[in-house]
């Protein structure tokens, strides 16, 4: 899965994230951010592993300051989880894959109406 396939921008944010019916995980990152580069392969792996259950998107904060500002993303990487257009969880900083999986599995286990 190419990184471009995961890309979301200010212009596509509403369609890709706000109007999504499934859980959406968004990685807020930048090219110059070392920890962002460390989690990038994990984010891509999760995108493959959870295909069909959850959407995974990446938002470059340098190229898309409007959305990053809207969610007060001050440090990156910041990973936000959205359900029904609402932020339901947030992870800041590089984390091991296991922590991402625990968060995702718990969010997917929740009934659809309990966001």
- pTM recorded for the entire structure: 0.92
C-alpha 60: how far from its chain's center? Answer: 11
The reply to whether 78 belongs to the active site is no
The reply to whether 56 belongs to the active site is no
CB-count exposure of residue 25 (10 Å: 0-12, 13-18, 19+): buried
* Active-site residue identified among 23, 25, 26, 33: 33
What is the predicted pLDDT for the residue at 97?
96
If you ran DSSP here, which 8-state letter would residue 96 be given? -
3-state SS, 49-80, equals HCCCCEEEEEEECCCCHHHHHHCCCCCCCEEE
* Active-site residue identified among 6, 24, 36, 67: 36
| Per-residue model confidence as pLDDT tens digits over 39-72 | 999 999 999 999 999 999 999 999 999 999 999 9
Domains of the chain: 3-109 (3.40.30.10)
For the chain, residues with pLDDT lower than 70 are: 1-5, 112-115
């Amino acid at each position: 899965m190419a990184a471009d396939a995961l890309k979301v921008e200010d212009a596509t944010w509403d369609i890709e994230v706000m109007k999504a019916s499934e859980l959406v995980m968004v990685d807020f990152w930048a090219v110059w951010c070392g920890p962002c580069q460390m989690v990038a392969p994990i984010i891509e792996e999760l995108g493959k592993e959870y295909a069909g259950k959850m959407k995974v998107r990446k938002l470059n904060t340098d190229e898309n300051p409007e959305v990053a500002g809207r969610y007060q993303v001050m440090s990156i990487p910041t990973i936000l989880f959205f359900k029904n257009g609402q932020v339901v969880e947030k992870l800041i900083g590089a984390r091991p894959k296991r922590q991402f999986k625990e968060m995702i599995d718990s969010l997917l286990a929740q009934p659809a109406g309990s966001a």
